[in-house]
Amino acid sequence: MKDRARTRTLGGGGLSATHRRGWIALLAAVVASACSSPAPSGPPTVADLPTFEAVEEMRIGALEDADQGFSRIGGVDVDRDGRLFVVEAGVPEIRVFTAEGEFSHRFGGRGQGPAEFESSPQIGVKGDTVWAVQSFRNRIQLFDRSGTLISTASIDRIPVPLPQGIGFVVPRRMRADGRWVGFFGMVSSSRGEATGVEPTDSIPWPMTLFNSDGSVGDTLGWISKPPPTMWRPPSQEPPIPEYLELGGRRHAVPQARPQMERWYPTDDGYIAVDAPRPTSGEAGAIFVHRILAGGDTVFSQAVNYSPVPFTDADLDSIAARAARGGPGGFGPYRPGASVPDDWEVIAARLRAEMAFPPWQDGLTQTWPANDDRLWLRLANDRQTGRTDWVILDANGFPAGRLSLPETAQPRWASGDVLWAAEPDQLEVPWLVRYRISGLTP
């Protein structure tokens, strides 16, 4: 009998009462329209959306040039002159490139001192200021665009007791006025210590504006529960992960990811995206809600799609990627790690233990672009090497769909320009600029 180690993870899922009310109102409007119109129409369907084309315009990277080449691409932002500020997460540092893709300068580096980063930071550019936040290191640093340090400050994190630990509201999004929108950004375990909070409690927390020095400012409103990815009640916990001991190594058995709402902060609230797992080959649906900090719903939008089944080839591919430690293995990704010589044996053992549902999750990734559009990555046929993204405008309405290479990860987009991190066949990452033909800037 095999020995299996089991661990528990925190997460969340399901529509909140606020979101259900928004969706019920949307359904009521659809039903009312159907009753009064001879040609009823429901939520838009992915297959009926306009299609956009991504045209590659530029690549930044290199195999041997330390200035141009990347080991791991983190956050990206573009200033008013078109210059790129890119986090090289492997160092970590910020590299700056001209609008023509030429290397300009770098700043940062690993360390705990001024103008240094202990880990890969979140970054952005507002006017002449480059900001870098490390929530787990409790620090905000501001630079000018040349890389000169302007200031460094500690974050006055707001603790929120949870049943199994402590959550924290931290700066997540810098506004044009220089203040930060605070959002539920991190959780630390209490290691069994009592917090006084029960799993049935609502656990409200303040959506707060932080000042530029990291201190707590005004409260925008109170949210009734933490984001589902940060905490869920025991009744909604995902299956316990399983591991196999093979060749003296511990390997996670891939399993379908738990269904969770995804929340993203806006300047005055947040966007919640939910996609219940399809139970048949009939049309699935993705629900998008924009909620104000006070709890009011700005819009509720649904998008229908055709579910994609898990084929044997899909599951074989997942097991192989998990055994090799590559992306897409539904398990730990080990960038830069050597591939085990016996990965095929490991893949076969993992595949025998895998238990996946018949239908893929319709939504595999959600990404908020820099122009307030929301990108939804759909499930795809893994054999094509491509994946579809649905692009929603600022009002939540689907503008169209875009096909990208399966390995492309959007890093920055505004109007019809997209910068994506994309590995080549040797898994060397490149930063690629696409022009999105057909998408209105």
State yes or no: pLDDT of 17 exceeds 50.
no
State residue 20's pLDDT score.
44
State residue 240's pLDDT score.
77
State yes or no: pLDDT of 30 exceeds 60.
no
> What is the rounded distance in angstroms from the CA atom of residue 169 to the CA atom of residue 110?
25
List phi, psi (to 5°) of 20.
-60, -40
State residue 238's pLDDT score.
66
Q: pLDDT-based confidence at 11, cuts 50/70/90?
A: very low
Residue 276 in tokens: 């219940």
| Pair 204, 222: CB distance under 8 Å | yes
Q: pLDDT-based confidence at 21, cuts 50/70/90?
A: very low
What is the SS3 assignment for 134-147? ECCCCEEEEEECCC
Calculate mean pLDDT across residues 377-392. 87
pTM over 0.75: yes
Q: Where are the alpha helices (DSSP H) in 78-219?
A: none
**Unique residue bearing structure tokens 């066949």:** 425
Answer with the residue of higher pLDDT: 192 or 178: 178
State yes or no: pLDDT of 232 exceeds 60.
yes
In this structure, the dihedral spanned by the alpha carbons of residues 23, 29, 35 and 38, taken in order and rounded to 10 degrees, is -110
Element at 272 (helix H, strand E): strand 269-274
State residue 13's pLDDT score.
36
State residue 235's pLDDT score.
61
| Pair 128, 145: CB distance under 8 Å | yes
State yes or no: pLDDT of 146 exceeds 70.
yes
Tell me what percent of the residues of the chain surpass a pLDDT of 90: 60
| Pair 142, 151: CB distance under 8 Å | yes
Domains of the chain: 17-437 (2.120.10.30)
| Pair 11, 228: CB distance under 8 Å | yes
Answer with the residue of higher pLDDT: 39 or 414: 414
State yes or no: pLDDT of 32 exceeds 60.
no
Question: In which region does residue 230 sit, left (phi positive, over 0), alpha (psi from -120 to 50) or beta (all else)?
Answer: alpha
State yes or no: pLDDT of 70 exceeds 70.
yes
Poorest-pLDDT segment among 24-28, 172-176, 383-387, 436-440: 24-28
Poorest-pLDDT segment among 31-40, 61-70, 298-307, 334-343: 31-40
Q: Does residue 43 have a cis bond before it (omega within 30 degrees)?
A: no
Reported as half-sphere exposure (CB side, CA atoms, 13 A), residue 357 has a value of: 16
Poorest-pLDDT segment among 65-69, 115-119, 238-242, 249-253: 238-242
Q: String of b and e for 311-322 (b: at least 16 CB within 10 Å)?
A: eeebbebbbbbb
Poorest-pLDDT segment among 122-136, 186-200, 215-229, 389-403: 186-200
Calculate mean pLDDT across residues 308-326. 89
Calculate mean pLDDT across residues 16-37. 42
State residue 333's pLDDT score.
58
Average pLDDT over the chain, rounded to an integer: 85
State residue 35's pLDDT score.
40
pLDDT tens per residue across span 196-207: 888 888 899 999
| Pair 273, 15: CB distance under 8 Å | no
Tell me what percent of the residues of the chain surpass a pLDDT of 70: 85
Q: pLDDT-based confidence at 31, cuts 50/70/90?
A: very low
Q: pLDDT-based confidence at 427, cuts 50/70/90?
A: confident
State yes or no: pLDDT of 15 exceeds 70.
no
Sequence-ordered list of residues with C-beta below 8 angstroms from that of 204, at least 6 positions apart, any chain: 222, 223, 224, 225
pLDDT tens per residue across span 388-411: 999 999 999 999 999 999 999 999
State yes or no: pLDDT of 73 exceeds 90.
yes
